[in-house]
Each structure stands twice: as structure tokens, then as C-alpha cells.
Amino acid sequence: MIKRVFLIGNPNVGKSVVFSRLTGVQVISSNYPGTTVEITKGYLKLGDEKIEVIDLPGTYSLEPSSKAEEVAVNLLRESLPGESAVINIIDATNLERNLFLTLQLIEQGYPLIICLNMCDDTEHRGIHIDFKKLEELLGVAVIPTCAVTGVGIKFLLERLKEIKPLVENKLTHEGRWQRIGVIVDSAQKLTHRHHSFREMLEDATIRPLSGLFISIAVVYASFKMVRFIGEGLISRIFDPFFFNYYQPLVERVSSVLAPGSFLHHLVVGELINGKIDFKQSMGVLTTAPYIEFAMVLPYIIAFYFVLSILEDIGYLPRLAILLDNLLHRLGLHGFAIIPVLLGFGCNVPGILATRTLESKRERFIATTLISIGVPCVPLQAMIFGLLGSFSGFYVGGVYLVLFSIVIITGILLNYFIKGYSPELLLEIPPYRFPPIATLAQKLFFRIKGFIFEAVPIVLLGVALINLMLYFNLFDFVTGIFAPVIQGLFGLPKDAVVALVIGFLRKDVAVGMLIPLGLSAKQFFIAATLLAISFPCVATFVVIWKELGLKELLKATAIMIGASLVVGTVLNFGILH
């Protein structure tokens, strides 16, 4: 009896969607090759048996060419015969290309069943697949499914029981394509369709001129939409909630605890002009929840909403083509834009996504650039919320400085690091329009992730800061770094504490700048430095795990160097 089922297939055929359907475990899926970079495990019930299901990163063949593919292929090789089976997921809209891996799997003797996914998308593209015939020609069970809606998954489970290995001769690569040609010719019929609007759009986005215009429009619209949704949520929902319902509650807490007491200092924080100020009080029940829920969460929702739409439609690989040339000068190729975009949400998934890049050199460059120049949503939300009230000019300034730093650092890294970076080779998926429910589910999953990961750290962090401030434990650190912070960066020495806290959480760190009464210029420098200097501790740990200690130290040295240069240049370079 089988104990383990591997889901394997080309990139972007919907393996993760099938995985979620089989196990009920939610995972992120998008419309671009390489969404899954980690192995996800779950369980399904087949009769009375509990079977382990393993979602593998996508691969085009059993000869891996990136870290993510290598992981998939190795795990499959190590699997025990007799105990494991393979569900090969195939994109029905691209049968021919998918069958290459299928034949390799059959030749290797893996017990196999085929899940012919995206069957709902074939008819209107003029593709007709005779899956009975396909089953006959391949000699393995073929089950048509549409995993996004769940169609066919039940049959997939039923046929899983009768799975068994085949004995096949090994073919040469050319021989394999020849056989695929024969199979496809008899099992698939194509009818000619006129170019639909969708196909015209697919085409326009990969042509240089039209593609450039569309990308500018898309990026601009995305940015506007994030701001519109984020600000809308703050002013219509979160702020009213905090001021009308939450404030009276904490005011009662404040009067019970008596201002001035240790507990009041910890829980409510300082009263500003005799009142609780959500932005400045710095208490576990005041500023901590306000920062997370009323300043950051709305932008988390807005950002992931827009990103999820772009991901699921399949626009991101097109952006990769347009940026390939620029990224080439930084020692990367176009696909690196996807880890970078994910990094704008949170650096951690961004750095994990660099696994789809082929070489260690590229991974190091991409990781360093993300941690130096890509501010996460919490940091950006705080910059918008606070620096934005000074002037929009400075907000733009932060992005301009970060962009320049990324370009300069990238060019330098590309010049000084030995080796070379491979070129872009990327499949461009057709546009797809997933059901709203799928989109909502993914958004909800990401928001839940944020709340569970960020909120405990923020509450604990603020408690810790208050304790340390109460017992004057920061004086020591402040003393050490004051010359640099004051002399080079022109910031008051209390800003040291905020910069140190940045290691814990960027949003809290920006929050700590508020009571210091900084000028717009000082705020601008401090916010920029928070972005460039050390990433938060979670990102640190991920870099360590992904690249090793040596590379982490190298990246850290680069970050410190960049911070010193940028802080000094901004301080002495900007007048007034």
C-alpha cells in the first residue's frame, strides 16, 4: 500500500492548487513559474489510510537546473519503491511540452497517475483532448481536472488506488520528443480560433514598445490602488474604530493604573499633554496595537490584494522580460524581479523566492539587494503615514535613494564578485482569471500569516523597549553609537535606540522616531537608514539559513558600508 504521494509537474501547472484540494492545507499559488520553492507536506485520507502528500517545486525534466528543481528531483529519487506514488500534474493547455517530464517519469519506473489539470481552459482555446486515447497511448491513468474549482479531484483519489509502475525502455531526448509528437497528434485536436482580446493583450505585453507602456500603466495603477485602498481602510475603518471605540477603553485602563506607575508606563505608556496619543505613548496596549492594526495592516491588505491580482493573472513574468536588460547589469536576470516584488511585502518570502535563480552568485546578489534596498510593507506604511505628513517630496526621496543604492550596489557586486550569472530562460504563461474566491482565500491566508507572525513580536517588543527605557538600559548602546549618529548622520543621539529596534521590527522603530521631534530632513535620513541598514531579525535568520554564515557576514558588511555612506551623504548633501 502506498504511504506517500508526490505531486510533480512542470512549473506553473497548478500543483499547489491540486495540493490544497487534496489535503485541505492552504498554500500560496500564482500564475508564474516558480511560486513553490519549498516542499510542502500534508495528508489525505484514502479509505482508512492516511497518505502523506508532498508538493514539489516545478521542474521541466528530471535533470534539475536550479536549487528549487534540484530539491524536487532529489526527494523523488530518495523515495522508497513500493511505498510512494507520483501524481504527475499536466497543464492541458500545453500538453506537448508537459509530456516530456511525464515520459521521463514513466521511463524511470515511478508508479504514476496523470492529473490533466486546467481542463476548463482548453475548449475556448480550441484544444480538444481525447483523454481516453491519451490514457491508452501512455499506459497510465489520465484524470481530467480543474483544481481551481475542484472538478475531477474525487476521481483522481479513486484512481489513486490502482496505481502501479510500468516497465518502459529509456528513450533518448530526441526519441522522447518523437514519441510525444505521435501521442499528441492522435490524442489532441486543435481547431483554429480567431485571436481573442486576451491573446492580443498577451501579445502586446511582450512587445518592446507596447509592453513598456503597459508596464508603466500597470505599475502606476498598482501603486495608486495600494495607496487608495490603504488610506481608505485607515480613514474609514481602522482610525474610527481606534478613536471611537478603543480609546475610551484604554483611557479607563489608564485611570485604573494611575499615570506615573511602572505598570502604567508599560501598558499605556506616556501621556502626551495629559492624554493617550496612539502614535507616541509607546504602550503595549496603545501604540503597539495602533501601529500594527491601524497603520500597517491596512497597507498589508492593500499590497497583497494588488500583488495577488498581478500574480494570478500572470503579469509578473512579462515584467521580468521588460526588466531583463536592466537587471543584467546588476548581475541578475529578469526573473529576479519576482523575488524583489515579494520582498516589498516582506523580505523573508522575497529571499526564499531567490531559490528559483540558478546560481549561488545570483542568489547572493539578489538577497543583498533585497535586504538593502527593498523596504517591506510595515516600513513603507510607517514612512507613508509619518513622513508623508511632513511632505510627499521626502517620501519620493526615500524611494529614489533606495533605487539608486540598489543600482549602484548591484553594478559593484556584479563587477567584483567572480563568476557569471546565467541568462533568462522563462516560460511566459497565458493570462488567466482566477475565481474571486481563490483570490480572497489567498489574501486571507497572507493576512492571517502577518497577524500571527507580527503582532506577538510587536507586543513583546514594545514591552521590552519600555522595560529597557524604564531602567535606562539603552544608555550604554546610545553612548557607543552617538558619535556616528550625531556626527555623521546629524540625528539626535536618542535615534540610536530606534535604529537598534529596527533590528526587531521596522514599523516599531519608525514609531519610536515620532517622540524625538525630528525635522523633516532628519526623519527622512532616519527612515532611509532604517531601510538600508540591517534587515529585521527574521530576515537575518533566513539569509543565514539560505546562504550560510559567510555570505550573511558579507551581506552585513555591505549593509553597514552602504548605511554609513548614504547617511553621511544625505546629511551633508541636503541643505536646510
Partner 1 sequence: MKKIALAKMKENQKGKVLEIAGGNSIENKFMSMGIYPGREITKLSHFALRGPVTIKTGRSVLALGHGMAAKIILEVE
In the complex, which residues of this chain contact partner 1 (CB under 8 A)? Answer: 60-61, 63, 65, 93-97, 100-101, 173-174, 177, 202-203, 206-208, 211, 317, 320-322, 324-325, 328, 333-334, 423-428, 430
Supply the minimum distance, in Å, between the C-beta of residue 62 and partner 1: 9
Q: Are 52 and 36 in contact (CB under 8 A)?
A: no
Q: Pick from 552, 553, 562, 572: which is nearest to 529 by CA?
A: 562
Q: Specify the residue, 16 or 421, whose C-beta has the smaller distance to partner 1.
A: 421
Supply the minimum distance, in Å, between the C-beta of residue 87 and partner 1: 20
Supply the minimum distance, in Å, between the C-beta of residue 231 and partner 1: 36
Helix (H) or strand (E) holding 133: helix 131-138
309 residue type, one letter: I
Q: What is the DSSP letter of 270?
A: P
Helix (H) or strand (E) holding 254: helix 247-257
Supply the minimum distance, in Å, between the C-beta of residue 176 and partner 1: 9
Supply the minimum distance, in Å, between the C-beta of residue 464 and partner 1: 48
Q: Specify the residue, 291 or 338, whose C-beta has the smaller distance to partner 1.
A: 338
Q: Specify the residue, 336 or 496, whose C-beta has the smaller distance to partner 1.
A: 336
261 residue type, one letter: S
Q: Specify the residue, 124 or 164, whose C-beta has the smaller distance to partner 1.
A: 124
Q: Specify the residue, 97 or 133, whose C-beta has the smaller distance to partner 1.
A: 97
Compute the Cα dihedral for 390, 392, 397, 399 and give only its sign.
positive
Supply the minimum distance, in Å, between the C-beta of residue 352 and partner 1: 23
Q: Are 514 and 541 in contact (CB under 8 A)?
A: no
Q: Pick from 440, 446, 372: which is nearest to 409 by CA?
A: 372
Supply the minimum distance, in Å, between the C-beta of residue 135 and partner 1: 21
Q: Specify the residue, 328 or 554, whose C-beta has the smaller distance to partner 1.
A: 328
- Count of beta carbons in the 10 Å neighbourhood of residue 245: 9
Supply the minimum distance, in Å, between the C-beta of residue 322 and partner 1: 8
Q: What is the DSSP letter of 147?
A: T
Q: Specify the residue, 12 or 380, whose C-beta has the smaller distance to partner 1.
A: 12
Q: What is the DSSP letter of 10?
A: S
Q: Specify the residue, 77 or 550, whose C-beta has the smaller distance to partner 1.
A: 77
Give per-residue burial for 162-186: e unless 16+ CB within 10 Å, then b. Answer: ebebeeeeebeeeebeebbeebbee
Tell me the three cell numbers of residue 310: 498581478
Q: Specify the residue, 333 or 355, whose C-beta has the smaller distance to partner 1.
A: 333
Supply the minimum distance, in Å, between the C-beta of residue 93 and partner 1: 7
Q: What is the DSSP letter of 440?
A: H
> How far is Cα 46 from Cα 23, in angstroms, rounded to an integer?
11
Q: Would you give the distance in Å from CA 422 to the centre of its chain?
A: 22
Q: Are 131 and 77 in contact (CB under 8 A)?
A: no
> How far is Cα 138 from Cα 271, in angstroms, rounded to an integer?
74
